[in-house]
Amino acid sequence: MSERIARRSQIGLGLLWLIDGILQFQPYMFGKAFVTGVLLPSAAGQPGVIATPITWIAHLIEPDVAVFNAFAASLQVLIGIGLLYRPTVKTALAISFAWALGIWFAGEGIGMLFTGSASPLTGAPGAALVYVLAALLCWPREVQARPLRGGRVRGLISEHGGRAIWSATWFGCAMLWLLPANSSAGAVHDAIAGAPSGAGWLSRLLDTAATATTGRGTTIAIVLAIASATIGLAVLYGWLPQALLAMQIGLLGLYWVLGQGLGGLFTGQATDVGTGPPMILVALMLAPPSASNSIRRANMGSSPDFLVNSWP
């Protein structure tokens, strides 16, 4: 990963944290509904070793939920600002590791991976865990200015290690698609029908998609399991990088819209942007420059260096 791409990745991750912090300031988060509607549901269906501490944390927070939420929202905003301001990147990333893992456990129930119902469509393996991977990849290191290495900069894990983890993530998604809860005839319909909305146009889109997938859950699950496993292999071996990146972005975008309702951003109850955006960010971080340059230019406009050079 080049120094420029690493810096862009830090900025992208910082913007996600900043948005999450702003979402945490929504009025819903300051009432006890945050405990009953966000934290306690993370314990549902979990083995006791996971459910018990999540329930304990939820009840510990409940009497002072407003204070806790103000702290959580402020911290996330500060992490975001810290990533945007170059001198504080390492501090912000270090804090983000601990906070994201805490969110993944207590707020996301470890992505619901131990419940038998976790689905890539609805956000598995959990946005917070993907934030951790992104932070590991974009941790700043001194540039190795050797001609043969092209002045490359590495995070806490190498790009090869990052690709191995990313490949394992996609293989894991393939396995999740084959779970009985995700591969039954009505599973995909039910997941889309239960996605959050909060906007009329999104509700209509979700209704149309749910109707179109009625009774087709098994076929869709098998196709998406094969697609996920194919992506996992392609990531690991570097096959067809341009097609691979497009396939990842397309599939993750589809999950984000149809399964996650754009992270519930229009409901007033979203705690983060969902799993789609951070997973797309990681896909871009690990993509070879030849595969991702055109997409980055399209997303950043005619002056792609602005985001890198305009921040201290």
Distance of CA 95 to the CA centre of its chain: 18
Q: What are phi and psi of 144, to 5 degrees?
A: -90, 95
Give the range of the structural domain holding residue 109, as residue numbers without chain letter: 3-309
* 39 DSSP 8-state letter: I
Q: What are phi and psi of 302, to 5 degrees?
A: -80, -10
- Cβ–Cβ under 8 Å, residues 83 and 89: yes
User: Digits of tens for pLDDT over the chain (312 positions)?
Assistant: 678 888 999 999 999 999 999 999 999 999 999 999 999 999 999 999 999 999 999 999 999 999 999 999 999 999 999 999 999 999 999 999 999 999 999 999 999 999 999 999 999 999 999 999 999 999 987 655 444 444 444 568 888 899 999 999 999 999 999 999 999 999 999 999 999 999 999 999 999 999 999 999 999 999 999 999 999 999 999 999 999 999 999 999 999 999 999 999 999 999 999 999 999 999 999 987 766 555 555 554 444 443 344 344
Buried (b) or exposed (e) across 85-110, using 16+ Cβ within 10 A? eeebbeebbebbeebbeebbbbbbbb
**Distance (Å, whole) CA 37 – CA 31:** 10
Instruction: Count up the domains in the chain and report the number.
Output: 1
Place of tokens 């459910």: 51
- Cβ–Cβ under 8 Å, residues 196 and 269: yes
